[in-house]
Amino acid sequence: MNAIFEMSKAGAIIIALLFLQGCVKTVDLPDNVFKKQVVAVGTPNPDSVLSVRLTYSLRPDTAAVYQGITNAEVSFMEDGVVLGKVSNAPKGVYSFNKRPVAGKRYAIRVNVPGFDEIYAEDSIPQAPRVISSKFASNPNNPNSSPDFELRITNYAFTQTPIWFGIYSTRKVRGVKPGSPTGEVTPDIFYEYISTANLGLLSNSQYLDRFNSFFDGLSGKYSFGDPARVDPVSTTFDPNPVIRYTIVNQIKKEDQVFTYSFAASAGYDRYLKSSIMAYQNRLLDASGALNNPFAEPTPVYSNIKNGLGIWGAYNAKRTVLQ
């Protein structure tokens, strides 16, 4: 009976796919439907100076490339006081030589000729205090991945959403661009640091499963990069301990580290909505059907009189020995 049910369900899905593909058609958008707007994107954090990139919005049916707005004036503010103004950035990236400080509020006022003044503000959260640990591999299976845990010690005090991922770096030898392909000599090589996401598998109740899928091979959920700590579950345990394993193998020469960051409420909302919008996209990068049941997913914006995000975060990189 179960086999018949599964076959019927599979047949229904196939029929639905064929039906949907037959209903796809091209729709021309009237010119008066699209409204050109200023798009501002900035992520103030203590690891870099204040900066924002300005572009114009594009029609959804165009293949044009976003162009930077070069004739704007941007005022950077800290706790309501103007720090300075920057004008006429060649590539549309406006920066001010000031690193944000945790606990302070930073804002931008942007004036672009022909558009209303746009404004956005956000506060820098406290950095997460985490302890990362790696445990020995299973002695009965030396090829198995080690177990890890991430212990958050100040979640009760920050009360800000936390995201994290686990990565490895290693030295890699490459060939210098433009080097001759005939004779191979030592001087054509150079070394660089390669960083890779190791993939995260976990059944922890402290992780938000919105960007995960169940991996039948491991019996655990596989999470996208980065994973989000669920603020609801941590209400019952203010010092959560998240246990997980990884997908990719680690080599002896690899340096393994976790990268965790506390996100402001606005930046957290933007990240989650943008990931969900990507998951719900109708077509993939090659133009093939990705999700026939996709629904429009709006991406959060906190830019007044414009689009984009001015979202603050505070990060910590923890190396595992």
Q: What is the pLDDT of residues 261-286, one digit of tens each?
A: 999 999 999 999 999 988 887 766 66
- What's the whole-model pTM score? 0.81
pLDDT range class, residue 11, cuts 50, 70, 90: very low
Task: Write the pLDDT tens digit of every residue in 40-91.
Answer: 999 999 999 999 999 999 887 777 888 899 999 999 999 999 999 999 998 9
Between 11 and 147, the more confident residue is: 147
Share of the chain above pLDDT 90, in %: 54
Other CB atoms within 10 A of residue 83 CB: 15
Q: Which CATH number is 38-123's, of 2.60.40, 2.40.70, 1.10.1200, 3.40.50?
A: 2.60.40
Give span(s): CATH 2.60.40, the chain.
Answer: 38-123
pLDDT range class, residue 295, cuts 50, 70, 90: confident
Other CB atoms within 10 A of residue 38 CB: 23
CA–CA gap between residue 52 and residue 39 (Å, rounded): 10
pLDDT given at position 56: 95
Other CB atoms within 10 A of residue 45 CB: 24
CA–CA gap between residue 200 and residue 207 (Å, rounded): 11
CB of 42 closer than 8 Å to CB of 53: yes
